[in-house]
């Protein structure tokens, strides 16, 4: 059976991609953020996952407001990137894991999740950036499975529902007849709001409490409704749903390999965690 080695979480601000493209990792503004990935990269070099399941939110590249699925699963042979208008260089396509994709889709449907199956799928910076951050020299997993969660257009799925989704994905992966090692990635957040009267909003105490909960009490955030999470984290801060799903997909207890929290990066509370499956 496949082995789930753990989970990774990170912010995915488009400006990060610009900084990578311009070689600004050691610039004083960016250094505290990029330096936070060192221990996680060392752990990944040791564990060498073969496949990454990426929980992310699309920003209009693949889905727009006229068609916005709550949950969409990639089932493509390759996943292509495209110009999003942020000035981030496009990247080469990523290979999919068709066998695992269909294993996840079948299991989710059996668990009464109504998912959108995407046999062609564009992936934006929210999916590609974590791969570049954790594996800057492109030495990472050879295959990916994208799992897109709507955090753009209301109604949004609840924290409780995203935890259930993550658990079901983890069940599917654990039952996959393969000797491959799989890592779960949650992409987004933390607290930030990009528009309106609260533009620039950051809630450091809540962010740190949330990060701690992923180790000690991974269902802690389920006590809050979506509107309460928006209040506490900002309209874009609800991207923490991806962190919840990725953590839930790692069964049992976890050990913190490393974490980093830095504010602000482009008016966003930028965090990352690497959690090893116990």
**pLDDT digit string (tens) for 124-176?**
999 999 999 999 999 999 999 999 999 999 999 999 999 999 999 999 999 99
- 62 pLDDT band, cuts 50/70/90, is very high
Catalytic site residue from 12, 107, 192, 262: 192
How far is it, in rounded angstroms, from Cα 226 to Cα 262?
Answer: 24
107 is catalytic: no
Model confidence at 47: pLDDT above 90: yes
Mean pLDDT of 247-262: 98
Model confidence at 195: pLDDT above 90: no
pLDDT at residue number 54: 98
Model confidence at 45: pLDDT above 90: yes
Catalytic site residue from 59, 125, 258, 262: 125
pLDDT tens digits, 64-97: 999 999 999 999 999 999 888 888 888 899 999 9
Q: Could you list the residue range(s) of the whole structural domain that residue 257 is in?
A: 3-277
Q: What is the CATH number of the domain that holds 78?
A: 3.40.830.10
Q: What is the mean pLDDT of the chain?
A: 96
pLDDT at residue number 48: 97
Q: How far are the Cα atoms of 3, 5, 38, 43 from residue 257, in angstroms, in the given order?
A: 18, 12, 11, 8
- Counted domains in the chain: 1
Q: What is the largest CA-CA distance in the chain?
A: 51
CA dihedral (208, 212, 218, 220) positive or negative? negative
192 is catalytic: yes
pLDDT at residue number 87: 80
Model confidence at 240: pLDDT above 90: yes
pTM of the model: 0.97
pLDDT at residue number 166: 98
pLDDT tens digits, 209-237: 999 999 999 999 999 999 999 999 999 99
pLDDT at residue number 194: 82
């Amino acid at each position: 059976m496949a082995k789930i080695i753990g989970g990774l979480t990170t912010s995915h601000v488009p400006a990060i991609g610009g900084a990578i493209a311009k070689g600004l990792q050691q610039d004083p503004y960016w250094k505290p953020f990029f330096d936070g990935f060192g221990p996680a990269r060392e752990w990944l070099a040791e564990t060498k996952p073969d496949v990454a399941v990426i929980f992310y939110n699309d920003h209009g590249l693949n889905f727009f407001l006229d068609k916005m699925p709550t949950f969409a699963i990639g089932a493509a042979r390759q996943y292509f990137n495209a110009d999003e208008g942020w000035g981030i260089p496009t990247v080469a396509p990523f290979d999919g894991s068709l066998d695992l994709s269909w294993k996840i889709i079948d299991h989710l449907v059996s668990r009464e999740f109504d998912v959108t199956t995407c046999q062609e799928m564009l992936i934006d910076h929210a999916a590609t950036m974590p791969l570049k951050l954790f594996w800057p020299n492109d030495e990472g997993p050879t295959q990916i499975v994208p799992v897109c969660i709507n955090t753009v257009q209301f109604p949004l799925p609840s924290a409780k529902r995203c935890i259930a989704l993550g658990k079901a994905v983890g069940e599917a992966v654990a039952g996959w007849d393969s000797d491959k090692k799989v890592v779960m990635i949650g992409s987004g957040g933390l607290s930030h709001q990009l528009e309106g009267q609260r533009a620039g909003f950051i809630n450091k105490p809540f962010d740190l409490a949330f990060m701690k909960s992923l180790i000690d009490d991974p269902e802690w955030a389920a006590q809050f409704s979506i509107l309460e999470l928006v209040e506490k984290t900002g309209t874009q801060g609800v991207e923490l749903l991806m962190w919840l799903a990725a953590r839930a997909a790692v069964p049992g207890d976890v050990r913190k390999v490393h974490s980093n929290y830095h504010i602000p990066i482009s008016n966003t509370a930028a965090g990352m965690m690497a959690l090893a499956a116990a």
